[in-house]
Amino acid sequence: MHRLRVSAVLVAMLWGQSLAWAGSWQDELPAWWSSATAAFDMAKQYNPVRTVTSIEELDASGAVISLERGETRTEWSGASSKVVVVKAEKNGKDASDEWRKRYAKQSGTAASNGAATPGGPPPGFDATPFDPKYASGVTRGPARVASGFVEVPYTIKTDGGPVEGVVRFSNGGMVVSATQQWTKPPIFVTSIISNIDYGYRDGVLVIAGMTIDAQASILLIRKHYRIHFQFLEWARKSD
């Protein structure tokens, strides 16, 4: 009987602590979000230098049928940039020259993720939850605790249609990751889902990695790609 009473007391204490913690982060969430937006805005002071990119083509079952992987370094001079291909391969064969030709066609266009295309991305494709550019278009849903994180659903209003996602905070208010999808993808694209891994550099919030899962359909031809970026180095812009 004594053990049952002790157990009941412990459960009550843990439950009370859980309720107190839940109330605490609910109150602090607006400050967490504002702090993350400010920290992400400071990322404009930094440039990504080293990027590892992998491009997977998948079949209908989700199996990888083609794999392209490469490492690049971006050399910055003011607002201009030059992408240097360190190495690349496709399906186990060297593809460095092919990648160098690909980047040469970009005519020095600054590529924050090492894979920009001429003409730029579709409207709203660059939207992320803490970008001050989209701050006025962000609405948050009710937060919840899941798998040790505080998850916050959000919607970003963009010229290309709403972007819906969920961002994850640690219980200390640090941004960990986000998953989002475009509800109105560009023509021929049936779906785009992005998984974002965040990291902090000297108090600045940066995108440490990103995986884009995209499916397209043109007539009877369907394509499924998964593109992953790792940004392994960041350098402060020169004054």
- Model confidence over 197-227: pLDDT tens digits? 999 988 999 999 999 999 988 777 889 999 9
In which band, very low, low, confident or very high, does the pLDDT at 20 lie, cut at 50, 70 and 90?
very low
Residue with tokens 């993720």: 113
Backbone angle region of 23, left / alpha / beta, with phi > 0 → left and psi within -120 to 50 → alpha = alpha
Cβ(40)–Cβ(133) below 8 Å: no
Whole-angstrom distance, CA of residue 139 vs CA of residue 156: 7
Query: What is the 8-class DSSP label of residue 35?
Result: H
Confidence (pLDDT) at 10: 40
Using CA atoms, how far residue 124 sits from 161, 207, 209, in Å, is 7, 17, 19
Q: Quick one: pLDDT at residue 112?
A: 41
Q: How far, in Å, CA of 185 to CA of 182, rounded?
A: 6
CB 119 within 8 A of CB 106: no
Coil, helix or strand at residue 135: helix
136 phi, psi to nearest 5 deg: -70, -15
Torsion of CA 72, 75, 76, 77, to 10 degrees: -150
Helical H runs in the chain? 2-41, 96-104
pLDDT digits (tens, 9 = 90+) for 219-228: 778 899 999 9
pLDDT band for 140, please (50, 70, 90 cuts): very high
pLDDT given for residue 187 in this prediction: 80
SS3 186: coil
Please classify residue 16 by burial: count the beta carbons closer than 10 Å to its beta carbon, then call 0-12 exposed, 13-18 middle and 19+ buried: exposed
pTM of the model: 0.81
**164: Cα separation from own chain's centroid:** 13
Q: pLDDT digits over 81-131, tens only?
A: 889 999 999 999 999 999 999 888 875 444 444 344 445 667 888 999 999
If one counts every other C-beta atom within 10 angstroms of the C-beta of residue 20, the result is: 9
Question: For the segment 156-193, what is each residue's pLDDT rounded down to a tens digit?
Answer: 999 989 999 999 999 889 999 999 999 988 788 889 99
Tell me the C-alpha distance between 111 and 154, whole Å.
Answer: 27
State pLDDT tens for residues 42-91. Answer: 999 888 899 999 999 999 888 999 999 999 999 887 777 889 999 999 99
Report the alpha-carbon distance of residue 98 to residue 94 in Å, rounded.
9
Neighbours of 60 (CB within 10 A): 7
